[in-house]
Amino acid sequence: MINPVKPVLDLIGDEYLLNRVKLKMGEQVEYIMSKLFNLWDNQESKKISVEATKKEGKNWIALCPFHPDQNRPNLYIDEEKETYYCFTCKKNGFLYNPDYRKSGDRNNKSIAATYNYKDEQGNLLYQVVRFNPKGFCQRRPDGNNDWIWNLKDINPVLYHLPELLRSTNPVLIVEGEKDVENLKRMGFTATTSPMGAGKWKASYNKYLKDKEVILIPDHDQPGYQHCQRIGQSLRGIAGNIKWLELPGLEEKEDISDWIEKEKGNTKEKLLQLIKEAPDFSLKKYDERTVKPINLKLKDRTKTIVPNLVHLVGDQGRTKYLFCKNGQWLIEDYFIKDDKRYSPKQNLPIKILNPNIIKRTFNLDIARLATEIDAFIKSYLEMPFDSDYLILAMWVFHTYLIEKFNTTPILYFYGVKETGKSRAGEVLSELAFRAQRLTSLTEATLFRSVELFKPTLIIDEIKLMGKGGNQGLADLIKTTYKRGLKVSRINLNKSGEDQIEYYDTFTPLVICTTESIPDIIESRCILFTMQKNSNPQIEKMIDKKWANDLRERLTIFRANYITRELPEAQYIARGRLNEIMFPLYQSLLMVGPDRKNEFIDIVKRIQKSKENEDGMSLEAEIVKAIDDEYRENQNKQFLTQAISKRLNEIRSENEIISDRAVSNRIKRLGFDKTRFKNGRMGFRINDERLGSLKSKYKIARGTEASEGSEGSEG
């Protein structure tokens, strides 16, 4: 039994963990863990001990010993980084660490050199400090002639950045500030990235745009890998990249060792080596011998690669467009492992021109939304004014399609020459990776979606009735929701490998004079098109305007693709909420002031769907069952009785079979039952029937009293 008064002490090195017990009316109620820390006071050069009595996340919290802090603890201690910071007096520093574990014991080491890292204007951002014995730390000015020993909230830059930007000479990239200083004394322009090998950032690339770069690796595997990564990162940005392996170096030696090795290793000799150096190429290196392994990249075609923003048509070729650290990058290839991927050429989808890289990432998103609305209105006459808002939000959501799990199918329906094809044409100018098709097969759909992730716009399609493509209809109904896989048999494989699964989730537009199956229409936003009343909208589409909007939509994608979608409450019930919710979330990003307008639109669609449900075959069946129940006061009925009621008003060609009626009755939720004469029928559940009457807006007549069980139906 633990004594509730006496603390329990566990000795761990020089620190103590105290498990104390809080008492309440003599009863033991909870344990409180505290920890003893030793702080190093850099100004006084002494160790100060504090007891932290609370922990939040990774930080311990204690009373600050550097100012009167008697009531509210304000000193935060990061045990992992071995740092402390007071949010009241702003005192900060490192924990006392005699073993020089993570951050290095600066107290027992002398500073051998400091290297100033400055911004583009020449202002000091931070220092890299080299200790003796060898060790490194980073520190930044605190504004009071002292240092903060971390780089919190500092964006690292290249060493000697101002000189690098001014120079028109080739830039030598080495590993380490000491190497840079030695090259500088020889008259070269040189730089390095802070914090050693493997720490190159894509944000450094912009400083080397169009410059000639010479990569000089340290003679070890980390050095070679470091410069290989830099070379790969700079391809397509630097004007030219050379690779210089210095002769005569031993394992782990570098450019500074080469300079000191022989008197003949002069500036002139280094210039000659640079002149003879080959262009950079991707290589792998043997870990044991540090010699290059001949690496032959396997060329592959792959259009959709990680972190892709869009595709660009440049110099007759389709290329990748990336955004890295606020910079546009156009790349011919995407390299992973031993494969070099390039996009499929001549894809029939809308891509960008290379001028996109001249655009900034600043975007007036509200103005963009207004212009998209205006563009659609200029070329398309919709049945309702509210339809333009729906179409504009649909366009926006295609640019963030990876973020959504559902997408509405847009269904433009009407007789000939009512603007259906025009709708597809207009949307193909704006939507993300739009591909417009006049015919579609099952193979085209699932392979195109799997490989290229386009926005599909289909002009004329027949999915039901005579000549309808049932297989294609089955595929289309899966496009609205992520994760609804379709299976196909690959006869070139065997066993279980023959069955392959494809995700057909993609934005889809159907423009047709044909009706479509109910199950697909339930996943659609329906636009019943009419003949144009304004001939002005039939003018030629302004391609320059369309391209400008696509580029700005791509900037929207680059800015928002890594952000979380806005949280929102459901705006409708069931399937309608599924298909409208992505558009609503898009609206909350680009035009939240129109939120109530959008909700009213959804309510209108909901009411319209309810009215359509009231005129459906299911509604007729429910009314027939209710009539049968009220007239015969019997809770059992035969399928034939319902079929007879339904077919009384139908022509011979419209007759509905007993089997079709029976299947619909089962789907409506009525249970089968056997009559006393052995015939099969259905049993009425009052609650279920009442629910269906409410759903299909069937007026309640005189309710039947609970009938007896029929003897023959």
Does the residue 154 lie in any domain?
no
Given 258, 277, 293, which residue is the final one in a domain? 293
In this structure, the answer to whether residues 242 and 332 fall within a common structural domain is no
For residues 528 and 140, what is the distance between their CA atoms, to the nearest angstrom? 65
Cα-Cα-Cα-Cα torsion 642, 643, 647, 653, nearest 10 degrees, comes to 160
CATH number, domain of 56, equals 3.90.580
Same domain? For 527 and 676 the reply is no
For residue 145, pLDDT over 90 is answered with no
Across-strand partners of 48? 39
Pairwise CA distance, residues 507 & 526, whole Å: 15
Q: How confident is the model at residue 291 (pLDDT cuts 50, 70, 90)?
A: low
Q: Are 81 and 131 found together in one domain? A: no
Q: Lowest-confidence range among 45-49, 132-136, 294-298, 302-306? A: 294-298
Other beta carbons within 10 angstroms of residue 322's beta carbon come to 20
- Residue identified by tokens 């991927």 is 341
- Parent domain of 285: 161-293
Q: Is 100 part of a structural domain of the chain? A: no
- 9: confidence class by pLDDT, cuts 50, 70, 90: very low
Tell me: do 218 and 285 sit in the same domain.
yes
What's the CATH number where 640 sits?
A: 1.10.10
- Report if residue 102 sits inside a domain: no
Cis peptide before 68 (omega within 30 of 0): no
Helix (H) or strand (E) holding 2: none
Say yes or no to pLDDT of 84 above 70. Answer: yes
332 and 469 inside one domain? no
- The CATH number assigned to the domain holding 266 equals 3.40.1360.10
pLDDT (average), residues 216-240: 86
Secondary element (H or E) of residue 486? strand 485-489
Question: In this structure, is residue 704 part of a structural domain?
Answer: no
Instruction: Give the number of domains in the chain.
Output: 6
More confident residue, 482 or 199: 482
Q: In what order do the strands lie in the sheet with 636-637?
A: 636-637, 680-683, 671-674
Please give the model's pTM, rounded to 2 decimal places. Answer: 0.55
User: Do residues 244 and 273 touch, judged by C-beta distance below 8 A?
Assistant: yes
Percent of the residues in the chain that have a pLDDT greater than 90, as a whole number: 43
Same domain, 117 and 87: no
**Maximum average pLDDT range among 277-281, 375-379, 440-444, 527-531:** 375-379
CATH number, residue 465: 3.40.50.300
Rounded mean pLDDT of the chain?
Answer: 84
Please indicate, yes or no, whether residues 664 and 622 belong to a single structural domain of this protein: yes
- Within a domain: residue 155? no
CA of 261: how far to CAs of 172, 244, 252, 258, 590, in Å? 20, 17, 14, 5, 63
Higher pLDDT, 272 or 195: 272
Q: How far apart are CA 124 and CA 429, in angstroms?
A: 48
DSSP, residue by residue, 194-247 = TTSTT---GGGGGGGTT-EEEE---SSHHHHHHHHHHHHHHTTTSSEEEE---T
**453 and 583 co-located in one domain:** yes
The answer to whether residue 488 sits within a structural domain is: yes
State the burial class of residue 34 (Cβ atoms within 10 Å of its Cβ: 0-12, 13-18, 19+): middle
Tens of pLDDT, residues 359-397: 999 999 999 999 999 999 999 999 999 999 999 999 999
Q: How far is CA 597 from the centre of its chain?
A: 28
Among 20-29, 179-188, 320-329, name the one with the lowest average pLDDT.
Answer: 20-29
Spell 390-405 as b/e; 16+ CB within 10 A means b.
Answer: bbbbbbbbbbbbebbe
Q: Could you tell me if residue 37 is inside a domain?
A: yes
State residue 700's pLDDT score: 54
Residues 399, 440 within the same domain: yes
Dist CA 369 CA 392 (whole Å): 7
pLDDT interval class at 407 (50, 70, 90)? very high
**Residue, of 412 and 74, whose pLDDT is higher:** 412
What is the bridge-based pairing of β-strands 636-637 and 499-503? unpaired
Residues 21 and 126 both lie in one domain: no
Do residues 105 and 113 lie in contact, with contact meaning Cβ atoms separated by under 8 Å?
no
The helix (run of H) or strand (run of E) holding residue 524 is: strand 524-528
Helix (H) or strand (E) holding 651: none
Q: Tell me, what's the pLDDT at 444?
A: 81
Do residues 304 and 375 both lie within one domain?
no
The pLDDT tens digits for 540-593 are 999 999 999 999 999 999 999 989 999 999 998 888 999 999 999 999 999 999
Do 602 and 534 have their domain in common?
A: yes
Closest CA to 669 of 645, 648, 696, 646: 696
How do beta strands 171-173 and 327-331 pair? unpaired
Contacts of 287 (CB under 8 A, 6+ apart): 221
Compute the distance between CA of residue 551 and CA of residue 475 in angstroms, rounded to an integer.
32
Reported as a single tens digit per residue, the pLDDT across 28-40 is 444 457 889 988 8
